[in-house]
Structure 1
Amino acid sequence: MFRSALSLACAGLALLATPALAEPARNLGITVAPLGAYVLQGDAEGAPTVGYSAGLGWAYRKPGAVLEVGGHLASSRHLTEVTPMSVRVVPLGDTRVRPFLGVGASLLVPHSRPQSVAPDTLGSRVLQLGFELCGGVGVELGENLFLSAEARYQNFSARGSPFSGERQSLRSTFLGLGMHL
């Protein structure tokens, strides 16, 4: 009798859990942002560099969580910058409109170097390390699509050392369309 009751309870739990298991969790969001603009200040030339950029972003968040892990890659004619991982706070959780704030570590690769840089410091300008503060909002458009707007502030070393006193800042904004996978 106990075995049959236990078997029936397990079968009932399996039937109740089946719809939840059949529905795929859409925890990963990929964003393509073809509309981006940036301002780079503090480079060796002194004048701010302004340009357009395109990017690819990603975010992973479990349903109901207020923290997510994300990152992005953006490139323009003058530079490529990447934040492989940032930690973001999503205070409203699973809502149609999801604002977020985040912080992460960034890398910057300039595509062109000024001619005035001495040959011995040329190698130190290839990869610059820094940090990122970001904020944005995602708006659900349907079951799998969302609209994303993001603003970033990044601060990089102008020399090889990430703790160098010579700094440059990159401010950028992006608008894109995303998809839950």
Structure 2
Amino acid sequence: MFRSALPLACAGLALLATPALAEPANNLGITVAPLGAYVLQGRTEAERTVGYSAGLGWAYRKPEAVVEVGGHLASSRHLTEVTPMSVRVVPLGDTRVRPFLGVGASLLVPHSRPRPTAPDTLGRRVLQVGVELSGGVGVELGQNLFLSAEARYQNFSARGSPFSGERQSLRSTFLGLGMRL
């Protein structure tokens, strides 16, 4: 399932980025966030994982708009999570300080499991599907540079089915530097 989902996510990003590249400059923002931390919480306290993460984010917006489309990819030693597309509300529009709230669909791939969680997984990598709520702020540093801080809450199925009753949550924060293209 993961092998077919990853090319589809990449194709979706390419389709979204193609119109963005045809628009006037400064509509596409790319953020590199080398400073990130996360807490992955399962059903019990024993299923808790804490670590550091790094990420790459993107956001597409039109001038004067209060809605933008964004996404990110973040990875750590224990997991990789991606939100190919989220919709963000930017209530202040084009200002030097731009807070936002967003919602999107997320994918999570654990790199390793300390012990099998169910007989059907046997420690294999299982693509987990979930929802993301995010909030953050961007601060313009210059004409095309900005500082970005973001916090995310993601809720994933603990198994392959997105409607599984077994859930886990991922809370993360990131600080990065971005550039408008």
What is the TM-score when the length of structure 1 is the normalising length?
0.83
State whether residues 45 and 114 of structure 1, in contact with CA within 8 Å, keep that contact through their aligned partners in structure 2: no
Name the stretch that deviates more: 9-18 or 140-149: 9-18
State whether residues 43 and 158 of structure 1, in contact with CA within 8 Å, keep that contact through their aligned partners in structure 2: no
Rounded to whole Å, the distance in 2 between the matches of 1:106 and 1:161 is 13
- Structure 1 residues not aligned, in runs of 5+: none
Deviation, structure 1 residue 151 = 0.2
State whether residues 125 and 160 of structure 1, in contact with CA within 8 Å, keep that contact through their aligned partners in structure 2: no
State whether residues 70 and 85 of structure 1, in contact with CA within 8 Å, keep that contact through their aligned partners in structure 2: yes
State whether residues 117 and 123 of structure 2, in contact with CA within 8 Å, keep that contact through their aligned partners in structure 1: no
Structure 1 pair 14–116 and aligned structure 2 pair: CA distance change class (3 A): closer
Structure 1 pair 117–65 and aligned structure 2 pair: CA distance change class (3 A): same
Rounded to whole Å, the distance in 2 between the matches of 1:40 and 1:7 is 26
Residues 65-144 of structure 1 correspond to what in structure 2 (within 5 A)? Answer: 65-122=65-122, 126-144=126-144
Deviation, structure 1 residue 47 = 3.5
Structure 1 pair 122–141 and aligned structure 2 pair: CA distance change class (3 A): same
Structure 1 pair 165–139 and aligned structure 2 pair: CA distance change class (3 A): same
Note the aligned Cα RMSD (angstroms).
13.7
Name the stretch that deviates more: 53-62 or 108-117: 108-117
Structure 1 pair 13–180 and aligned structure 2 pair: CA distance change class (3 A): closer
Name the stretch that deviates more: 18-27 or 6-15: 6-15
Structure 1 pair 21–77 and aligned structure 2 pair: CA distance change class (3 A): closer
Deviation, structure 1 residue 142 = 0.2
Deviation, structure 1 residue 10 = 43
Deviation digits for residues 151-174 of structure 1, max 9, x if unmatched? 000000001110111000000000
Name the stretch that deviates more: 110-119 or 93-102: 110-119
3-state DSSP of counterpart to 1:137: strand
Rounded to whole Å, the distance in 1 between the matches of 2:62 and 2:126 is 36
Structure 1 pair 178–119 and aligned structure 2 pair: CA distance change class (3 A): same
State whether residues 125 and 159 of structure 1, in contact with CA within 8 Å, keep that contact through their aligned partners in structure 2: no
Percent identity, aligned pairs only, is: 90
Deviation digits for residues 74-122 of structure 1, max 9, x if unmatched? 0000000000000000000000000000000000000002323345234
What is the TM-score when the length of structure 2 is the normalising length?
0.83
Deviation digits for residues 49-87 of structure 1, max 9, x if unmatched? 100000000000000000000000000000000000000
Deviation, structure 1 residue 13 = 36
Structure 1 pair 21–84 and aligned structure 2 pair: CA distance change class (3 A): closer
Rounded to whole Å, the distance in 2 between the matches of 1:175 and 1:3 is 30
State whether residues 36 and 175 of structure 2, in contact with CA within 8 Å, keep that contact through their aligned partners in structure 1: yes
Structure 1 pair 120–14 and aligned structure 2 pair: CA distance change class (3 A): closer
